[in-house]
Amino acid sequence: MRIVYVNGEYLPENEAKISIFDRGFLMADGVYEVTSVLDGKLIDFAGHATRLERSLGELEMANPVSQDELLTIHRELVERNGIDQGMIYLQITRGAPADRDFAFPDPDETPSSIVLFTQNKPNLADNPVAKKGIKVISIDDLRWGRRDIKTVQLLYPSMGKMMAKKAGVDDAWLVEDGFVTEGTSNNAYIVKDGKIITRERSHDILHGITRAAVLRFAAEAQMQVEERNFTVVEAQAADEAFITSASTFVMPVIEIDGAELGDGTPGPVAVRLREIYLEESRKAAV
Ligand code: PDD
């Protein structure tokens, strides 16, 4: 039985309650973050906390906690649930007004709701999937136009994941106007002639915290990085590909729409970046 955090209280998961009028439930009017835990410590916490502030600001939503309080809550949950490796899910919504209404409620009358819970993943770092790599299909990107805000509107990404499952693969890459935006819940990269290529930041993709760290480590390791759009055809002709996210770190991609990349095994750049990311982010964990 997990101990979770809801609006100021630590409770057993089956006692934690949110109102049926909560705008997260009725309107997907909420934002979230997923922070990974390795060796009982938080990975890239400052990045996630900063992006949370930005998501809230873009939606004019009040933040019910300070960064310090947020860190304390994260640490308390890791401690109370004995998490060595796993994730912490955090969600803040525009709260529960007295009735359903499209207009935002007055934040002085309706405080934001905040929920956090842990997910125990003992093999997060030593994930056997990373040794094999994953297969992806491409699908149309039918999400809204502000994907840089980390909202809980995850219906289309969930549908994309199901399309991938039905196609017998692991995930889907989303394509808009002929170019890959990102994965259902991760940023997408290809590697050609040693150069790492990934879409530049804009409203079209989530500005991944893992992406920022990986690009920094790649530059420090004298790897070449090019931030630009790429097509599925270019990706299929690449030497290798990979994705990044807080829950997968750096995960090699070995097949796109049925076309095998290289020899169909994880490429050296992805493997090296995964090693560097795990090593460096563990050192900087809090
Ligand atoms: N997803 N793009 C999308 C659409 C995402 O949902 C995510 C993260 C990322 C990677 O961001 P980061 O490196 O900050 O985790 C990119 C999380 C892990 C999730 O929804 O579970």
Q: Tell the residue number behind the tokens 């056997």, with chain if given.
A: 128
Report the predicted TM-score, pTM, of the whole model to 2 decimal places: 0.97
pLDDT at 37: 98
- Report the residue count for the chain: 286
pLDDT at 81: 98
Bridge-partner residues for 241, per DSSP? Answer: 190, 253
Q: Reply yes or no on whether 150 is catalytic.
A: yes
Q: Which atom of ligand 1 is nearest to the CA of 187?
A: 16
Which residues 6+ apart lie within 8 Å of 44 measured at CB? 35, 36, 209, 210, 213, 246, 281, 284
pLDDT at 92: 98
Q: Residue 168 C-alpha to ligand 1 middle, in angstroms?
A: 22
Does residue 118's CB lie within 6 angstroms of at least one atom of ligand 1?
Answer: no
Structure tokens at 235: 């990706």
Structure tokens at 254: 């070995």
How far apart CA 72 and CA 10 sit, in angstroms, is 12
**Ligand 1 atom 16, closest CA:** 186
How far apart CA 279 and CA 246 sit, in angstroms, is 14
pLDDT at 173: 98
Indicate which residue of 17, 41, 132, 150 is catalytic.
150
pLDDT at 56: 98
List, for residues 2-27, the tens digit of each pLDDT value.
999 999 999 999 999 999 999 999 99
pLDDT at 69: 97
What's 74-135 look like in SS3? HHHHHHHCCCCCEEEEEEEECCCCCCCCCCCCCCCCCCCEEEEEEEECCCCCCCHHHHHCEE
Structure tokens at 6: 């809801």
**Ligand 1 atom 11, closest CA:** 208
Pocket residue to mutate for ligand 1, from 146, 245, 273, 274, most atoms within 8 A of Cβ: 245
Q: Residue 98 C-alpha to ligand 1 middle, in angstroms?
A: 32
Does residue 206's CB lie within 6 angstroms of at least one atom of ligand 1?
Answer: yes
Q: How many other CB atoms are found less than 10 A from the CB of residue 166? A: 9
pLDDT at 8: 97
Q: Residue 190 C-alpha to ligand 1 middle, in angstroms?
A: 18
pLDDT at 212: 98
Structure tokens at 168: 């017998």
Does residue 113's CB lie within 6 angstroms of at least one atom of ligand 1?
Answer: no
pLDDT at 143: 98
pLDDT at 108: 95
Does residue 34's CB lie within 6 angstroms of at least one atom of ligand 1?
Answer: yes
How far apart CA 198 and CA 250 sit, in angstroms, is 13
Q: How many other CB atoms are found less than 10 A from the CB of residue 99? A: 7
pLDDT at 197: 98
pLDDT at 147: 98
pLDDT at 86: 98
pLDDT at 223: 97
Could you tell me the CA-to-CA distances from 109 to 77, 94, 95 in Å, in that order? 29, 11, 10
Could you tell me the CA-to-CA distances from 196 to 22, 59, 188, 207, 215 in Å, in that order? 42, 33, 10, 17, 9
Tens of pLDDT along the chain (286 residues) come to: 999 999 999 999 999 999 999 999 999 999 999 999 999 999 999 999 999 999 999 999 999 999 999 999 999 999 999 999 999 999 999 999 999 999 999 999 999 999 999 999 999 999 999 999 999 999 999 999 999 999 999 999 999 999 999 999 999 999 999 999 999 999 999 999 999 999 999 999 999 999 999 999 999 999 999 999 999 999 999 999 999 999 999 999 999 999 999 999 999 999 999 999 999 999 999 9
**Ligand 1 atom 2, closest CA:** 186
